[in-house]
Amino acid sequence: MKIILKNKKTLVYDDFQFKCVIGASGSTWNKVEGDKKTPKGIYSLGPLYYRADRIKKPSTRLKTVKIKKSMGWCDDIHHKKYNKLIKINNQFRFEKMWRRNHIYDLLIPINYNSNKTIKNKGSAIFIHLTKNYKKTLGCIALKKNDFLILLKLIKKKTRIQII
């Protein structure tokens, strides 16, 4: 079973449809770091990361990881850990995972450009939360209740197709 991003505003899984939002510049087959586009294609999903201080462990068949203050996602194209989970320091650029806002209280990495990472092809592409459907920097965002429903439905082998 696949999650399908049907259009810029609809995520579909089986009989369920969820309102969502994607990158501010739409979607593309030719993703570039910082272009605010969501990458088209079919991808596997990573584990669920969650803020245990804000949300109790959600019901899901995915592996779960508690987000710590020291966690980041490297978006520095010159670093060997580009597009990987890292322990943060100020020597390179990264996306902070422990945030004041709530968009990363729940997130699932989309395994885009993650195996044989290509520099400048895009990083930190997640399914994460939104409160107001404000366009993202390339991720897919859902309201919390929809995200929690999706978590109950999907499993480790679920893939996402971005059209």
Asked if 39 contacts 28 with a C-beta cutoff of 8 angstroms, the reply is: yes
Comparing C-alpha atoms, which of 144, 122, 123 is closest to residue 51?
144
Q: Which residues contact 19 (CB under 8 A, 6 or more apart)?
A: 9, 10, 11, 133, 142, 143, 146
Least confident among 27-36, 75-84, 87-96, 107-116: 87-96
Tell me the per-residue pLDDT of 131-145, one tens digit each, with 9 for 90 and over.
999 999 999 999 999
Q: Which residues contact 34 (CB under 8 A, 6 or more apart)?
A: 137
Domains and their CATH numbers in the chain: 2-162 (2.40.440.10)
Tell me the DSSP string of 29-48: SS--TTS--EEPEEEEB-PE
Residue 62's pLDDT is 98
Q: Which tokens sit at 42?
A: 């079919």
This prediction's pTM: 0.95
Buried/exposed code over 71-96 (b: 16+ C-beta within 10 A; e: otherwise): bbbbbbbebeebbbbbebeeebebbe
Asked if 63 contacts 48 with a C-beta cutoff of 8 angstroms, the reply is: yes
CA distance 151 to 50: 12
Residue 73's pLDDT is 96
Asked if residue 35 has pLDDT above 90, the reply is yes
Asked if 143 contacts 127 with a C-beta cutoff of 8 angstroms, the reply is: no
CA distance 65 to 153: 18
Confidence of residue 93 (pLDDT cuts 50, 70, 90): confident
The mean pLDDT of 70-99, rounded to a whole number, is 91
